[in-house]
Chain A
Amino acid sequence: MSVTVTINGQSVSVPDGATLLDACRSEEIDTPTLCYLENLTPVNACRVCVVEVEGSRTLVPACSRPAEDGMVVQTETDRVKHSRKMVLEFLASSVDLSTADSALSGWMETYGADPSRYGTPAPPTEDRDHRHAGHHAAASGEVTETVAQPPKIDNGLYMRDYSKCILCYKCVEACGEDAQNTFAIAVAGRGFDARISTEFDVGLTESACVFCGNCIAVCPTGALMFRSEYELRQADVWNEDEQNVTRTICSYCGVGCNLELHTQDNRIVKVTSPMDHSVTDGHLCIKGRFGYEYVQNLEDDLATTPVDVVLRSVRGR
């Protein structure tokens, strides 16, 4: 069974159950997405993918709206462009997007997003994890609020910098029903003070986290990062242009998860799994994700490159 919709005047047939995003993509219409990922349930929260559907009072999220026979869809109208621009501006004016997916800066340009027009961003605050629903300190009007805050570094495997969090819910989904079924993190708080949190903001080592790293893999902004990547960036040694990605199979058990080993200076600096891999859907366990140290001897006297020095320092902690 298939359904036929009209997109920008063009008739498009897609399989029954396909979304408007699927239809747009089949026509190669560039549609920005931030909270959508093929291997997760759509939460339709970011609203950057909105399109205009004839007969609908508001714009609709393409990522989650099923295509229906006869739908007339516009993706290039001023209304669509305006909302996409505003969503991008809102995020860029409140979140550090410096390590976000490169597509994002492209969309910022396409839609003419100008975060500077909101005024001076507020400096980092320490209290975001302790704000109470329904009670925020009234705005002064001098600065514009941001989510800037100190990074959380509480274990040797990965770190969290929620200054970079756009609250796309992807990590929560990956940790929960969509993959890991661990439920170590959830959205807490409300409104602008909503945040990703463990219970009572306890450190990851005190939480239910099993360090599978699946949340890192789905995070679009680099808010969640391998400690190795974070420390290499801090030391200004991280260089993606010099990295190789080697696909292999995890050697720990018989499931056959595919791994992508990201190496720089012949050292593994991070591990991912292809999202379209039938075994993993991009998800791994702690062993495949982080258990690679045995293949590189950092204690060796010969391990003296800048990468070695940084990686050793992480391990020592």
Chain B
Amino acid sequence: MNKPATDAERAAVDGLLDSLPAGWDGNPLEGRLAFSGLHRSQQLRHLLLPALDAVQSEIGWVSPGALDYICATLIVPPAEAYGVATFYALISTTPLAPIVVHVCDDICCRERGAVEIVAALRAVFGEARSADGPATWMTSPCLGQCDRAPAVYIQRAGQDDLVIAPANPASVLAAVDGQIEPMKVATASTTLLGRPGGKSLEAYQQGGGYVALAIAASQGADRTIAEIKASNLRGRGGAAFPAGIKWEAVAGIASDYKYVICNADESEPGTFKDRDLMESNPYALVEAMTIAGFATGATRGYIYIRGEYPLATTRLKAAIREAYAAGLLGSDVGGHGFAFDLELRRGQGAYICGEETALMNSIEGKRGEPRNKPPFPTVSGLFDKPTVINNVETLVNVIDIIEHGGETWAQTGTADSTGPKLFCLSGAVAKPGVYEVAFGATLGDLLDLAGGATGDIQAILLGGAAGSFITGDQLDIPLTFEGSRAAGVSLGSGVIMVFDTTTDMTDVARRLAQFFRDESCGQCVPCRVGTARIEENLARKLNGHGELDLQLIDDIDVAMKDASICGLGHTAATAIRSLIDLGLI
């Protein structure tokens, strides 16, 4: 028999439940349900990940006793709860030291000091994942801080977690000792999207915040959607799907429940624009979500934010709280006569949960495994109800569109790629950061904005780990949807990561392959095994055991593209293939 949950473990779970709004019918649990019409156990299941998070955050790991207590409270079979807990990298089902330093050793940080940080931590705290001593460490995929590489993310049992970036061995060891410098506010280099008044709701409203919501409410849902359609706003999360079409589809379905979700899971290596937007002005995202709810008739929204973004999480929580207090969320939003509730959900370390249907499963308390499509989320999404899901940047654009009208807004950019666009510049550039341009700028323009390359350009990763590499003689590519398509590349999530000639691209390729092998959900055979085989092939070359088997890599790539369930498998070998094609590995 398991040791029963300790008082502290119970308190962590009970604390989560107590923090949810009390029930109207006096039943302490029923009232906390986000939706209804399902069995009681199904109604509680969606609290599984928050409950695991609560125990992990307070205690530092999820013991068998704690898992039992969560299962008994939420009516979840223990084997399933264990399956969910072991899916997420930030949840540990084995004991860990109370402080865990996650050191980013991904493709930008690994050349910028990550190795030294790992060496320092190893010297003081021993091997990775230790349960003994005051602290331990492990490596991490990209933490979304590449502009300030190298980065670490620190989980601390019973205390707030934090990010240090840029980090060095001394600052990390000091932080483990409790000497923490306050995190700096993001220095957003953006102009159009970075809206004023990010410090408080009051400041936001004084700077013009919530004017868009008032316009939307007065012109009505149909007109609001018509403006979004007229703007030709396309999704900024990677797939470039027109936002207005999604909104219209969901608005057109009569359903007892509908949902809008903001995808703030931002885990694509090299991407940090959404973090920047959320840290610099969380109120704008809350307003945009409210407009989306109004336009589509969804009465509930979720923002699903990646777990490694503590600052953005704190600020969004505060923004949501302030909006409720001001009556801008809840049963009658701003006196406009519609209801909208908004909840923040934390991811727990799983890139795949950025895939929209995996994200929905994750909110539902399941393993973050993507669903087979069709059906698409607009028809059957979160809790099998019609759902709009949009990226942070997509949503924030909505405010300007409503304020200025879709057609006017669409005059920025090109005919097919309308509006402003954020790009994430990192690697070998003079001034890494988020840069905003009107669509139409070339790759060279963006590099100029970031102060140019700091060395001889060997390769540029465009679009993220799921994107592809190009060389320095392709700087005239227009960074528009149509321009990138014509050049055979993808804008993805707006990643522009520059590698100079000092970088060993085989090492980069192997790390990318490791990323996909680590982040594959494991559901479908082509991706589960294919990602492992690609990494082995690159390791063989890197470690001097042989050459790349180009035929095999090609065969694997084709099968992953054709037969995998989701975009992770479809694109897992694309960047590596591009390096091969360029003769860089």
Contact = CB atoms under 8 A, between A and B. Distances in A.
A and B are interacting partners: yes
B266 to A, nearest CB: 16
Given A134-B519, A192-B520, A208 B79 contact: yes
B367 interface: yes
Contacts, number: 204
A40 interface: no
B541 interface: yes
Contacts of A197: 79, 82-83, 86
A139 B532 contact: yes
A252 to B, nearest CB: 27
B563 A86 contact: yes
Nearest to A201: B82
B138 interface: yes
A145 to B, nearest CB: 5
Given A141-B541, A144-B536, A189-B522, A130 B94 contact: yes
A61 to B, nearest CB: 7
Contacts of B565: 44-45, 47
B562 interface: yes
Q: Which of A145, A166, A192 has most chain B Cβ within 10 Å? A: A192
A200 interface: yes
Contact of A47 (B349, B518, B521, B524): B524
Interface string A175-214: 0000000011111111111100111100000011000000
A59 interface: yes
Contacts of A8: none
Nearest to A193: B522
A82 interface: yes
B570 to A, nearest CB: 7
Interface string B357-373: 00000000001000010
Given A45-B523, A46-B525, A118 B533 contact: yes
Interface residues of B, number: 67
Interface string B133-176: 00000111100000000000000000000000000000000000
Interface string B517-546: 111111111101111110111111111011
A90 interface: yes
A136 B523 contact: no
Interface residues of A, number: 56
Nearest to B89: A134
A225 B459 CA distance: 53
Interface of B: 64, 67, 77-83, 86-89, 92-94, 128-129, 138-141, 349-350, 367, 372, 510, 514, 517-526, 528-533, 535-543, 545-546, 549, 552, 555-556, 558-559, 561-565, 570
Interface of A: 43-48, 50, 58-59, 61, 64, 79, 82-83, 86-87, 90-91, 93-94, 117-119, 130, 132-136, 138-142, 144-145, 166-167, 183-194, 197-200, 207-208
14 contacts: A43-B523, A45-B523, A59-B563, A61-B372, A79-B558, A83-B559, A83-B562, A117-B549, A117-B552, A132-B94, A186-B80, A189-B522, A190-B522, A192-B520
The 7 closest A-B pairs by CB, nearest first: A134-B89, A194-B522, A141-B540, A183-B77, A141-B539, A86-B559, A90-B529
Given A45-B524, A94-B529, A200-B64, 7 more contacts: A83-B563, A87-B526, A135-B89, A141-B538, A186-B80, A193-B522, A198-B78
